[in-house]
Amino acid sequence: MRIEVSFYGFVRDLVTTPKLVIDTSDQTTVREVLDSVVKRHGERLRERLLSATGELAANVQVFVGEQPTTSLDQSIDHAHDHCAEVKVFVLSATAGG
């Protein structure tokens, strides 16, 4: 299926095209999607998105469609027309004294 991955926030120094489309099998997970994105953009993107133990970093939020997900093992089912949308937000501090 076709997965549209959009990046938001503090990744633009690594991901020059904020939106990219990847083709995968019809059964895939968030982890696999991020893996293939990292392949394209380099290991530094992995460091930005994932913790040393391979989990999502504290400041990264991923949405599959409109649903937030905390688990990288969340599966992405083919939604409409074999298309799915994954949004990756990399947040940074908003306040502070």
Partner 1 sequence: MQTENAQEDLWIPTTCGLCYSVCALKVHRVNGTVIKIEGNPESATNRGRLCPRGVSGIMLLYDPNRVNVPLKRTNPNKGLDVDPGWKEITWEEAIDTVAERLRKIRREDPRKLLMTGTVTTQDEVPFSRFFTMAFGTPNGWNSGAGNHCGTAEHLYGALLHASWAKQPDSDHCRYLLNFGSGVGSGSYYTVTGMAQRIAEARLRGMKHVAVDPFLSPSAEKADEWIPIRPGTDAAFALAMLNVLLHELNVYDAEYLKHHTNGPYLIGADGSYLRDETEKVPLIWDPVDAAAKPFHSPEIKDFALDGVYAVDGQRARPAFAVLKEHLAPFTAEWAEPITTIPAATIRRVAKEFAEEARIGSTVVIDGKALPYRPVAVMYFKGAQGHKNALLNCMALELLTEIVGASNVPGGLLGMNSCSVGEPETGQPAWIPKADRDGLMITGYWPSFPPPYPPKEVRATETIDLRGLIPTCPGSSGALPVVMADPKRFAVPYQIEMNLHLGSNYLMTFADPEAVARAFQNVFQVSFALFLDESTYLSDIVLPAASYLERLSHTADWMSSNAAVGEWCYHVRQPVVDPIAQRRSVCEVLLELVERLEMREEFYAFINLLLKLKEPHMLDPTRCYSWSEIVDRRYKSVFGEARGLEWFKKHGVLKWPKQAEEVYWKPSSSARVPIYFEWFKTLGEKVKAQADEIGIELDTSAFQPLPEWRPCRAHEENSPGYDFYAIYYKLPMQTFSGTYDNPWLDEVCQTNPFAYGVAINASAARQRGIEEGDWIEITSVATGHTVRGQAALTEGIHPEVIAIAGCGGHWSKYLPIANQDGKGLCFEWLIPVGLDNVDIPSLTQDTCVKVKVVKATDRGSKRSSRSSRLNDLNHLNDLNPG
CB 80 within 8 A of CB 3: no
Q: How far is the CB of 38 from partner 1 (least distance, A)?
A: 17
Q: How far is the CB of 81 from partner 1 (least distance, A)?
A: 20
- Give the angle subtended at the CA of 16 by the CAs of 35 and 77, to the nearest 5°: 40
Closest to 56 (Cα-Cα) out of 86, 85, 34 = 34
> For residues 47 and 77, which CB has a smaller minimum distance to partner 1 in the complex?
47
Residue of the chain from 21, 23, 25, 52 that contacts partner 1 (CB under 8 A): 52
Give the separation between CA 37 and CA 64, rounded to whole angstroms. Answer: 15
Per CB under 8 A, 67 contacts partner 1:
no
Q: Name residues contacting partner 1, limited to 18-47 (CB under 8 A).
A: 18, 47
